[in-house]
Amino acid sequence: MAIQAVLFDLDGTLLETVPDLAAAVNAMLREMGRPEISQKQVGVYVGKGAESLVRRALSGAMDGQVDADLFRQAMALWNQHYELLNGYKAHCFDGVREGLDMLQNAGFKLAVVTNKPERYTLPLLKRTELLPYFEVVVGGDTCARKKPDPMPIEFACQQLGVNPDEALMIGDSVNDALSAQAAGVSCWLLPYGYNEGNDIHSTPCDAYVQTIEEAANLLLTEQGTTA
Ligand SMILES: O=C(O)COP(=O)(O)O
């Protein structure tokens, strides 16, 4: 079945967002009298949404077990800071605009499926001038469950009016691959993002590509030049 729609992960795939996420995490930790953590560590904690990031940063562990009151306090502080910092340093990875232009010009339907909450996703896409590319934007709180659950990818396909076998997910993490596979959608992975500290090549997928531009070239070659 020919691919008609391409779904993109956001953090670590389209945009380098860790500098802003880390600035908000460290502002929160400072206000709580705790030591700051490195940007690299924040990159490891990104992937399962904002609440998971705050839990992991507070606990210093991937399972993010924290006292409920402490978590509420931290989340409120993090939201306060990220509201102001979101998009301040965020920028597209190399090849993103080139690849999106190619896919849009070839007539593919494009969507974002991210675990980032909607309230941060839409302003970020506007600030980085990416929003006009996308017919559908699914945030981490748009559906009842986030990636790696298939629900957000299934929802994006429904909204775009395509079957799962007519869609391709492009992401940077195991959460993208598991979500896509469970939804019956093909998945290509990129090596430059945030895969919770793991090498992306340990995650099975349909293809590994270096950039979104390379992904667009590959898709256009596989299908001819029109969607
Ligand atoms: O917000 C996150 O933790 C990750 O967001 P993503 O799904 O765009 O990678």
Q: Ligand 1 pocket test: which of 9, 11, 62, 212 has the largest number of ligand atoms within 8 Å of its C-beta?
A: 11
Final residue of a structural domain among 85, 100, 123: 85
pLDDT at 137: 98
DSSP H or E stretch at residue 110: strand 109-113
pLDDT at 1: 66
Q: Write b or e for each residue in 141-175: b if 16 or more Cβ atoms lie within 10 A of its Cβ, otherwise e.
A: bbbeebbbbbbbbbbbbebbebebebbbbbbbbbb
Final residue of a structural domain among 50, 85, 120: 85
Q: Which atom of ligand 1 is nearest to the CA of 172?
A: 9
pLDDT at 225: 59
Q: Which domain holds residue 73?
A: 18-85
* pLDDT tens-digit map of 61-73: 999 999 999 999 9
Question: The domain spanning residue 60 has which CATH number?
Answer: 1.10.150.240
CA of 176 to the centre of ligand 1 (A): 9
pLDDT at 60: 97
Q: Is the CB of 10 under 6 A from ligand 1?
A: yes
CA of 139 to the centre of ligand 1 (A): 9
Question: The domain spanning residue 213 has which CATH number?
Answer: 3.40.50.1000
Q: Which residues contact 141 (CB under 8 A, 6 or more apart)?
A: 49, 117, 118
pLDDT at 224: 79
pLDDT at 56: 98
Tokens 């293809």 belong to residue: 207
Both 129 and 43 in one domain: the answer is: no
Q: Is the CB of 56 under 6 A from ligand 1?
A: no
Coil/strand/helix, residue 74: helix
CA of 222 to the centre of ligand 1 (A): 29
Both 204 and 176 in one domain: the answer is: yes
Whole-number Å distance between alpha carbons of 116 and 122: 10
Cβ–Cβ under 8 Å, residues 12 and 46: yes
Question: What was the ipTM of the complex prediction?
Answer: 0.96
Q: Give the catalytic positions in this structure.
A: 9
pTM of the model: 0.96
Q: Which atom of ligand 1 is nearest to the CA of 53?
A: 3
* Intervals of the chain under pLDDT 50: 226-227
Q: What's 134's DSSP letter?
A: -
pLDDT at 178: 98
